[in-house]
Amino acid sequence: MVKWRILVSTAVAALTVAAWGTTAEAAPTAPPGDGVVSPSVVGGSQATQGEFPWMVRLSMGCGGALYSPTLVLTAAHCVSRTGANSSITATLGVVDLQSSSRITRTSNYVYRAPGYNGNGDDWAFIRLSSPVTTLATLPIATSTAYDSGTFTVAGWGANREGGAQQRYLLKANVPFVSDATCNSSSMYGGEVIAAEEICAGYTSGGTDTCQGDSGGPMFRRDASNAWVQVGIVSWGYGCARPNKPGVYTQVSYFSSAIRSAASSLGG
């Protein structure tokens, strides 16, 4: 079974290089645990060009969101440590990863959430070598006001459990699942960290993020009808299984730490 929603096979990473024409780095080893993690969008449809301009594909087999012109917000389990790092390539501005109009940037620094050990605290920043000024950024939720309802997820990950990574960005809508329900014996049996993780998906399964979607945003409209990021793709048992919704880093819980880190990184 797969828990984390990151590509963990260097062979698969190599295949993505051939498919996308981008430079991939080997995915970091998944955190210790029971070995059950996954995220691409299962049960989704193709996004239209420009629909989600802040979506980012990262060369280690993860997603992300453009937080500022120089910072990509992603998952901590997508990176190995905090420090200088020029090995990651970010692809932005396109639905089709092979499009000649795609924007690419290399990284120059990675910031992983302090204290991250594979259990919670699953957020990180990747700083780009030069700013991307032509694309909209995605604001983060700073309160719990939008941590319920129906969310949108998007990514280039697998469109089925064990499936191939996607050339075109897929999107889907998933409903909020309460902490109590998500931690019930029929779902995750207390494995979800209620204070800092948020669940979304259908009891019947069928729609979910999957391997390769890790680090990508979960978002919804705010009171002004603008997009706001409420989650970061983190983990789940398999992809789109019944009673196994996706588990996302709850951005509102970490919003102060995220903003402080961004400021320290010049973003």
In this structure, are 133 and 150 located in the same domain?
Answer: no
Active site residue 77: yes
Tell me how many domains the chain contains.
Answer: 2
Q: Are residues 210 and 225 in the same domain?
A: yes
Catalytic residue among 40, 68, 214, 252: 214
- Please state whether beta strands 227-235 and 217-221 pair in parallel, antiparallel, or not at all (unpaired): antiparallel
Please check whether residue 5 lies inside any domain of the structure: no
- Please state, as a whole number, how many other Cβ atoms lie within 10 Å of the Cβ of residue 86: 11
Which long-range CB contacts under 8 A does 176-180 form with residues at least 24 apart? 176/147, 176/148, 176/149, 176/150, 176/151, 176/200, 177/201, 177/245
Indicate if 244 and 143 belong to the same structural domain: yes
Indicate the burial class of 170 (C-beta count within 10 angstroms; 0-12, 13-18, 19 or more).
buried
Please confirm, yes or no, whether 208 is among the known catalytic residues: no
| Residue among 40, 68, 121, 122 flagged as catalytic | 122
Domain of 120, CATH number, reads 2.40.10.10
Q: In terms of Cα–Cα distance, which of 157, 124, 132, 127 is closest to 232?
A: 124
Q: What is the block-wise mean pLDDT of the chain (267 residues), using blocks of 10 residues?
A: 59 32 32 38 94 98 98 97 98 98 98 95 98 98 97 96 95 98 98 97 96 97 97 96 97 98 95
Active site residue 122: yes
- What pLDDT score does 2 carry? 52
Check residue 191 and report its DSSP letter.
Answer: -
- Composition of the chain by helix, strand, coil, percent to 5: 15, 30, 55
Count CB atoms within 10 A of the CB of residue 120.
20
Are 232 and 152 in the same domain? Answer: yes
Residue with tokens 């939720």: 141
Domain span holding position 60: 55-137+255-265
What pLDDT score was predicted for residue 203?
96
In the prediction, which pLDDT does 8 show?
A: 56
Catalytic residue among 77, 121, 147, 234: 77
pLDDT at 27: 35
Whether 234 is in a domain gets the answer yes
Same domain, 242 and 164: yes
Whether residue 182 is found in the same domain as residue 111: no
Q: What is the rounded distance in angstroms from the CA atom of residue 46 to the CA atom of residue 28? A: 28
Within this chain, do residues 91 and 167 fall inside the same structural domain, yes or no? no
Q: What is the pLDDT of residue 7?
A: 66
Global pTM value: 0.89
Which pLDDT value is given to residue 26? 31
Is 207 in contact with 240 (CB distance < 8 Å)?
Answer: yes
Do 156 and 129 share a structural domain? no
